[in-house]
Amino acid sequence: MKYFFLSILLFGSILVGEAMNSTSNLHHKKVALVLSGGGAQGLAHIGVLKAFEENNTPIDLIVGTSAGALVGGLYASGISVDQLEKMAKDGTIMKLFLGRNDMSDIPVWQRSEKSSGKFSIRKSDERISGPPGLLNDQLIWRDLFLLTAPANHLAQSNFDSLFIPFRAIGANIIKQKTVVFGSGSLTEAMRVSMSIPMVYPAVVKNDAILIDGGIYNNMPTDIAQNLGADYIIAVNVDDTPPPIEKMKDIFDYFDLFSSVLFSPTDSVNVSGWNYFINVDTDGFNIFDFSAGEALIERGYDSGSKAAKNIRKIINRQQDSNKIEERRFKYQNALIEKSIKQIQWIDHASGKVIGDEYEIFTPFNYSAYKIHSIVNSLYATNIYNLIIPELSMNGNILKLRVRKKATIQMIPEIKINSVNGFNLSGDWDYHFADNQYSLRSKVGVGNYNSDAEITFSPNKFILPYTKHRSRMIWKLGVFGNYQTYNDFNNSQNIYHFASGFGLSVHRLLSWNQQFIASINFHANRWVNIEDTLFPDNSEALYPVFNLRYENNHIHKVSPNPEGWKLDANIISGRYESNYFTGIQGQATIGVPFKNKYHFGMDVSYQTMSDPAPLELFYPVNLPTAFTQTLFVDTFSYSSLNVSYYITRTFFRDDVFLSVNFFNTYLENRILDVNDGWISGMDVSIKYESILGPIELGWSIFDRNDYQIVSWTKLHIYL
């Protein structure tokens, strides 16, 4: 009997010993972190990573799908949690996802022509086609490359040799199967994985159409198992969409569509993990990129609870000093690397082509320089897509380029309770040799309709090339129709204008230019007081402009950031008399603590008789009175000072603004006293991915401080 009890005791001790051994041996095992997709909700992954770092939770492998691949890939390339958090809060990741440039990405000579969106309709090879995706991916390719190139080079394109071994999950919809990226271009792997159908263009490669990995595998725990992971931590950030009766907007419906599309791989229903973290992202949709701070906080809360439990199981900690040393090594792997050659590759065929431009080589690699080269190539108006890559030895910069279609159109919609609605389209026609293009902007509205056509050369480029053309010419034709209300709203005032001209831009730098132009105008005012303008039409009159612009505004929405100086000298001949004028403007916008933003705009002008009204700067007034008081508040001399304070309100993409206007007028058009007029706007703006929606109230002392409400809707695609 005693042998029986001894055997039981021995067997029990073996079981306990093995259990203890299995737990203690986890510090010898591979720990994998699997990150689900979820669009903007994937920003919560940053919070989970932050909690893991604070608790010294080891990560030996990261496997990510879609947003999980983006956050996981950046982290695996050596970008710190602090950097990721900053990128989420300052809008860098939102800009990356939405594919929209900052104003500073566009050369100064094109900023006045900039369209808000990139949704385009194209005609090429006798075919008319829509965009391959709702959002443009030019910026995504560029910025993903700049963020990951050093680590990808040091790892020699082997994802097992990254700062943390990594896998990105894509989907091949031709073969209807999951694609696992473990080598090659880290940029391409992450770009494929985030290709949400209809939102981003699919990546076509080797007869395969590659899209978001969430189609077949939104929680790739099986991939982690196949790679030999012993302990798998799965993180889900993709919430369940609200029921039909609680749908609020188009983004809720898109969430519902996405959940149906990805339902075969619903993250919550996937097994194969040892620890499951379900981050509560209820109330956020897949486009809520501006809610980065709140999403990170949600991820941090869930990650902190999990990390404390996991720490009891995994008896292993990371050496933070060694981690930072390795991170520095991966983030700076290309310092002093010399780029000795530029190789141009056709995007469709993959074949090397002749030099499109002779870029000066050799030069030391820098993210700033590559960024500038790509931006300047886009500025030629020739290329639809530029994908930068590095050769294995890092000495060759490869540029995979795709040229624009023959005809391209970008639509834009503006609706304003004060100025009515306007539907516009930017058109580009490229000639066969791509040396020249015909560009036009046509807008139709109930208060304002206009058309502008310009003809100019394409091939100009500024930095780092032998084609350092500093002179740009544009030949244009324009027409405009506008309706205004007089002060008493008793009748409408109509203005018709047309003309043609030539402008020459002398480029001083990416942000500075001189413009000399000669334009011939013809215009007609209807219902304006005949006593002021007994003959207010002129068949054709010349106007000469000499303008200097120094523009360092790098962001325009929701508030301008940076500064800008603009000076303009005008002269011309009208009604057989000569006139002259001086105009100037200074703008500054700065963010400061506690989510506040301050901006100021100062403008001055003085014009001699008989300068036509259409050449004047408009006076800055509260929004609701701009149209009504247009004629009343125009003068031959004016000084405008306006300033505003904006603060995020309720959530990160909702802004409360107070804007003050002060204007000094002399020699007004109508017979009223000279002097100061003032007013203010108070508004609430929601900055959606389709454009801003704004509700405001205006107060103006010229009208006994009457309060007038107004609304604005600006949709760009």
pLDDT 10s digits, 435-486: 888 988 888 988 889 999 999 988 777 677 766 678 889 999 999 988 877 6
Q: How many CB atoms lie within 10 A of CB 131?
A: 17
Q: Which of 414-418, 542-546, 691-695 has the lowest mean pLDDT?
A: 414-418
User: 3-class DSSP state for residue 89?
Assistant: helix
Q: How many CB atoms lie within 10 A of CB 608?
A: 15
pLDDT digit string, tens, across residues 256-286? 555 545 545 555 557 788 999 999 988 787 7
Q: How confident is the model at residue 2 (pLDDT cuts 50, 70, 90)?
A: very low
User: For the packed helices 81-89 and 67-76, what is the interaxial angle rounded to 10 degrees?
Assistant: 140
Q: Whole-prediction pTM value? A: 0.84
Q: Which of 23-32, 202-211, 232-241, 580-589 has the lowest mean pLDDT?
A: 23-32
Beta strand 352-353 pairing with 275-278: unpaired
pLDDT digit string, tens, across residues 178-216? 999 999 999 999 999 988 887 788 888 888 889 888 888
Answer whether 601's CB lies under 8 Å from 643's CB. Answer: yes
Residue 283: CB partners within 8 Å, gap ≥ 6?
A: none
| pLDDT beyond 50 at 15 | no
- Determine the average pLDDT of the residues in 308-323: 81
Answer whether 134's CB lies under 8 Å from 198's CB. Answer: yes
| pLDDT beyond 80 at 518 | yes
| pLDDT beyond 90 at 408 | no
- Determine the average pLDDT of the residues in 674-683: 90
| pLDDT beyond 70 at 365 | yes
Q: How many CB atoms lie within 10 A of CB 266?
A: 16
- Determine the average pLDDT of the residues in 382-391: 92
Greater model confidence, 244 or 35: 35
Q: What is the pLDDT of residue 12?
A: 43
Answer whether 634's CB lies under 8 Å from 621's CB. Answer: no
Cα-based torsion angle of the residue sequence 328, 92, 49, 251 in order, rounded to the nearest 10 degrees:
-160
| pLDDT beyond 50 at 389 | yes
Q: What is the pLDDT of residue 331?
A: 94
| pLDDT beyond 70 at 20 | no
Q: Which of 614, 663, 667 is nearest to 636 (CA)?
A: 667
Q: Which of 46-55, 357-366, 379-388, 553-562 has the lowest mean pLDDT?
A: 553-562
Answer whether 65's CB lies under 8 Å from 217's CB. Answer: yes
Residue 142 φ/ψ region, left for φ over 0, alpha for ψ in the -120 to 50 degree band, beta for the rest: alpha
Q: Which helix (H) or strand (E) holds 297?
A: helix 292-313
| pLDDT beyond 60 at 17 | no
pLDDT digit string, tens, across residues 55-108? 888 999 999 999 999 999 999 999 999 999 998 887 788 877 777 778 888 888
- Determine the average pLDDT of the residues in 391-410: 88
| pLDDT beyond 50 at 27 | yes
| pLDDT beyond 50 at 320 | yes
Q: What is the pLDDT of residue 16?
A: 36
Q: What is the pLDDT of residue 532?
A: 53
Q: Which of 313, 229, 326 is nearest to 55 (CA)?
A: 313
C-alpha angle 691-694-698 in degrees, rounded to nearest 5: 150
Q: What is the pLDDT of residue 240?
A: 56
Q: What is the pLDDT of residue 72?
A: 96
Most confidently modeled range among 109-113, 306-310, 453-457, 584-588: 584-588
Q: What is the pLDDT of residue 656?
A: 92
| pLDDT beyond 90 at 298 | yes
Residue 83: CB partners within 8 Å, gap ≥ 6?
A: none
Please confirm whether the linkage preceding 362 is cis (ω < 30° from 0): yes
Q: How confident is the model at residue 345 (pLDDT cuts 50, 70, 90)?
A: very high
Enter the tokens of residue 351. 């074949």
Q: How confident is the model at residue 13 (pLDDT cuts 50, 70, 90)?
A: very low
Per DSSP, the chain holds a count of helices (H) and strands (E) of: 12, 32
Most confidently modeled range among 540-544, 627-631, 651-655: 540-544
Q: How confident is the model at residue 624 (pLDDT cuts 50, 70, 90)?
A: confident
Q: What φ, ψ does residue 607 adopt, rounded to 5°?
A: -130, 145
Q: Which of 549, 69, 581, 91 is nearest to 289 (CA)?
A: 91
Which residues make beta-bridge pairs with 339?
363
| pLDDT beyond 90 at 223 | yes
DSSP 8-state secondary structure symbol assigned to residue 111 = G
| pLDDT beyond 70 at 10 | no
Q: Is the dihedral of CA 681, 684, 686, 690 positive or negative?
A: negative
Q: How confident is the model at residue 411 (pLDDT cuts 50, 70, 90)?
A: confident
User: 3-class DSSP state for residue 394?
Assistant: coil
Q: What is the pLDDT of residue 258?
A: 53
Q: What φ, ψ does residue 566 adopt, rounded to 5°?
A: -145, 125
- Determine the average pLDDT of the residues in 480-497: 75
Average pLDDT value for the chain: 83
Q: What is the pLDDT of residue 490?
A: 61
Q: What is the pLDDT of residue 247?
A: 45
Q: What is the pLDDT of residue 459?
A: 74
| pLDDT beyond 60 at 359 | yes
3-state secondary structure 424-470: EEEEEEECCCCCEEEEEEEEEECCEEEEEEEEEECCCECCCECCECC
pLDDT digit string, tens, across residues 35-56? 998 888 999 999 999 999 998 8
Q: Distance between CA 33 and CA 117 in Å, rounded? A: 36
The stretches of 235-291 forming alpha helices (DSSP H) are 250-261
pLDDT digit string, tens, across residues 125-154? 666 555 566 677 888 999 999 999 999 999
Q: What is the pLDDT of residue 119?
A: 59
Q: What is the pLDDT of residue 9?
A: 38
Q: What is the pLDDT of residue 26?
A: 52
| pLDDT beyond 80 at 352 | yes
